[in-house]
Structure 1
Amino acid sequence: MLPVGPIVDCLGALLGAVLGSVIGHKIPSRIREGLPLTFGIISLGMGISMVMKVHSLPPIILSLLIGSVIGEGFRLEQLVEKIAFKVKRPIDKLFPNNQSSESDDVFMQKFVAVLIVFTVGPTGIFGALNEGITGDASMLISKGLLDFCTAAIFAAALGYIVCLTVIPQMIITFGLFFLAGVIMPLTTPEMIANFSACGGMMMMATGFRISGIKNFPITNLIPGLILVMPITALWMMIF
């Protein structure tokens, strides 16, 4: 079965990033600064709608708490930042007219946020798994259209480095598509609902970060997204 959804999703993000990088310097700074704020509001709205799908809150709380401890212990946020800055330097030399206009702190704040949205957003993860089982690519095609706009918006401010976020996005979406036959039979509707709600909380944190309200260490929360399904299954067995 051809992975139509992952192809469209990743291609949409890549084309958006290239377009935003090429024309970004022609866009007035007030627009480049204002558009990410708009996406911050969108991310908050998406997060709220996903949280409303929650089945049981305690497993989500446990998952985020344990996941945050693991993330802080392994310094996942700092690791991503170090890699991003190392990659940013040669890209800035290769495209000297397309360097980010943001300060280092603001650059990293936005880059990590868009990386999380593209790679570990629940819509992409569930969409890849769902297509791998049912062949329905509609969810990832819709996400691809949104990612095109999102990538263009952020690439206009951050430059060509946004194109590199497609690499982990491809690894995750294609990997989940081909592993769907193994993963999905192990899940239940309750596990899916809590996974979506946990991802919604991460999307809300991403919205706060993009908007500059609070710089949540989103990367450190990723282990919680991995833990929420098994913890939900264990919770249901006990209670």
Structure 2
Amino acid sequence: MIGPIVNGAAVVIGSISGGALGERVPARVRNALPMTFGVASMALGIALIVKIKFIPAVILALLLGSLIGELISLEAGIQKFAAKARRLIDAITPARSNGVSHEEFLDKFVALTVLFCASGTGIFGSMNEGMTNDPSLLIAKSVLDLFTSAIFATALGFSVAVIAIPQFAIQAGLLLGAEQILPLTTPEMIADFSACGGAIMFATGFRICGIKPFPIANMLPGLLFIMPISAMWARYVTGIGG
């Protein structure tokens, strides 16, 4: 479980470093680099979307996922978690708001949670390590997460480090379950899973850049639906594997 540990440590170290630096980092850097990370998220999303095999299956998964996410108020739950984390961290360390309002903090925290926990690199890196014992993908992701968490922590404070907890839990779960999950999949299912995650990553980039506040957290359940829907689409609609 080297990859999840290294990735989680990178987020914690980056967050502590960025939170400690705070306003000592020039405002132009704090404002410009998150935009770059947003563009990078959109580029990664596009790279994953082009792998799509069955467009209707991906759309249906996103629609069902968004419906479930809205019904259970998934994003609101993450925001409550973020608010509690911020209060806890601020009680331990001096608050570093850097002019960030409570609403902006919650908005960026949700976007970062999705970016760190639901990226295609993290998901497939975890599953790949579970199957091959090769942590290289997650280690490569850790380098990017180190700098991403550091930059955002200059504005959001040490609370960014808390994201390492759900990130580690998700990656560890995927790693441990990879041996049972991957043998049940097909190339088409993997491709559509990538495309579904890519669509969410693309929307995350829009949110980070402040272009459009997509409810990205509420879209996450779509990742649970896409593989079964893709498999059923291939079997009953296209006849693949039938």
Question: TM-score, length-normalised on structure 1?
Answer: 0.95
Picking from 152, 155, 159, the partner of 2:153 is 155
**Matching residue's letter, 1:77:** E
Which residue is equivalent to 1:93? 91
**Matching residue's letter, 1:234:** M
Cα distance in 2 for residues equivalent to 1:216 and 1:85: 20
Over the aligned positions, Cα root-mean-square deviation in angstroms equals 1.2
- How far residue 99 of structure 1 moved from its aligned partner, in angstroms, is 3.5
Which residue is equivalent to 1:206? 204
Structure 1 gap ranges (5+): none
1:99-118 matches, cutoff 5 A: 99-118=97-116
- How far residue 120 of structure 1 moved from its aligned partner, in angstroms, is 1.6
Superposed CA offset, 1:104-126 (max 9, x none):
22211211111111112221111
Which residue is equivalent to 1:75? 73
- How far residue 7 of structure 1 moved from its aligned partner, in angstroms, is 1.8
Kindly indicate whether residue 181 of structure 2 is the aligned counterpart of residue 183 of structure 1: yes
Cα distance in 2 for residues equivalent to 1:50 and 1:85: 32
Kindly indicate whether residue 27 of structure 2 is the aligned counterpart of residue 29 of structure 1: yes
Which residue is equivalent to 1:194? 192
Whether the aligned pair in 2 keeps the contact of 1:44 and 1:208 (CA below 8 Å) is: yes
Which residue is equivalent to 1:221? 219
**How many residue pairs are counted as aligned between the two chains?**
237
Structure 2 gap ranges (5+): 238-242
Kindly indicate whether residue 142 of structure 2 is the aligned counterpart of residue 128 of structure 1: no
SS of the aligned residue for 1:12 comes to: helix
SS of the aligned residue for 1:185 comes to: helix
Kindly indicate whether residue 97 of structure 2 is the aligned counterpart of residue 65 of structure 1: no
Cα distance in 1 for residues equivalent to 2:103 and 2:27: 18
Question: TM-score, length-normalised on structure 2?
Answer: 0.94
- How far residue 100 of structure 1 moved from its aligned partner, in angstroms, is 5.0
- How far residue 98 of structure 1 moved from its aligned partner, in angstroms, is 2.7
- How far residue 59 of structure 1 moved from its aligned partner, in angstroms, is 0.5
Cα distance in 2 for residues equivalent to 1:94 and 1:148: 22
SS of the aligned residue for 1:98 comes to: coil
- How far residue 167 of structure 1 moved from its aligned partner, in angstroms, is 0.3
Q: Share of identical aligned residues, percent? A: 49
Which residue is equivalent to 2:240? none
- How far residue 31 of structure 1 moved from its aligned partner, in angstroms, is 1.8
- How far residue 97 of structure 1 moved from its aligned partner, in angstroms, is 4.6
Superposed CA offset, 1:2-59 (max 9, x none):
x222222111121111111111221122321221111111111111111111111111
SS of the aligned residue for 2:205 comes to: helix
